[in-house]
Structure 1
Amino acid sequence: MDDIPQEITSLVGREVYSNNGVFVGEVEDLRLNVDGEAVTGLALAKLNGELFAEEARSGQGIIVPYRWVRAVGDVILINDVVERVRDPDEEEDELLA
């Protein structure tokens, strides 16, 4: 594990926001392509309960494809696609059930 660049391991624990400023979650782990030596996804925990109510309630995390990452700094910015992952009509149906 010593040969993994410090830059990659330093992603763990960083907060993730959509590029329009909505908190998504916190990086808990990384999904790696060992053969290609590349990060392919970010495993997020401590999720925004408004975006991921079911996962946040059950303590599950999500994996965000690394291709969604737009910027890495003190926080990680991703495309706002994540805000459209859930269909609002689907959530409404769950509330009525």
Structure 2
Amino acid sequence: MDHNSQPQEITTLVGREVYTNNGVYLGEVEDLRLDLDAESVTGLALHELNRELFREESASARGVIVPYRWVQAVGDVVIVNDIAERIQRSKTDEDEEEVTA
């Protein structure tokens, strides 16, 4: 990290697009989850979700919360590790197993 750079307000994250490190679009940051006691960001609340990955969540909820520990980089966009894709793939695999069983 560049220790000489000016700190930015956390609100600058709002509106940024979120992608996995594989380039898959997840959604857009709508809000932040904070731990006020620890004075840290604990999650990113996403909306405008990728409907292919978040089919159920898009239909039944307003968005999803991505744990901030998944964030790998913040710039013009936010990059998170591919765990979100893996979770959605495992859900799909479970659904397919139920259908074929």
The runs of 5 or more residues in structure 2 that have no matched partner are 1-6
The 3 A distance-change label for structure 1 pair 90 and 13 is: same
Match of 1:92 in 2: 96
Q: 1:54 aligns with which of 34, 53, 56?
A: 56
Match of 2:29 in 1: 27
With over 3 angstroms needed to count, the CA separation of the structure-2 counterparts of 1:69 and 1:46, relative to structure 1, is same
* One-letter code aligned to 2:10: I
CA offset at residue 59 of structure 1?
A: 4.3
- SS of the aligned residue for 2:76 comes to coil
**TM-score (norm: length of structure 1):** 0.84
Which shows bigger deviation, 18-27 or 55-64?
55-64
- Aligned partner of 2:71 in structure 1 is 69
Overall identity of the aligned pairs, in %: 66
TM-score, structure 2 normalization: 0.81
Return structure 1 stretches of 4+ with deviation > 6 angstroms: none
- The structure with the largest alpha-carbon Rg is 2
How many residue pairs get matched? Answer: 92
Give the alignment's Cα RMSD to 1 decimal.
1.9
Query: How far apart, CA to CA, are the structure 1 residues paired with 2:63 and 2:98?
Result: 20
Find the partner of 2:11 among 9, 12, 15: 9
User: What is the distance in 2 between the residues matched to 1:27 and 1:90?
Assistant: 28
How many angstroms apart in 2 are the aligned matches of 1:95 and 1:14? 37
Deviation at residue 57 of structure 1 after TM alignment: 2.4
Structure 1 distance, partners of 2:85, 2:49, is: 12
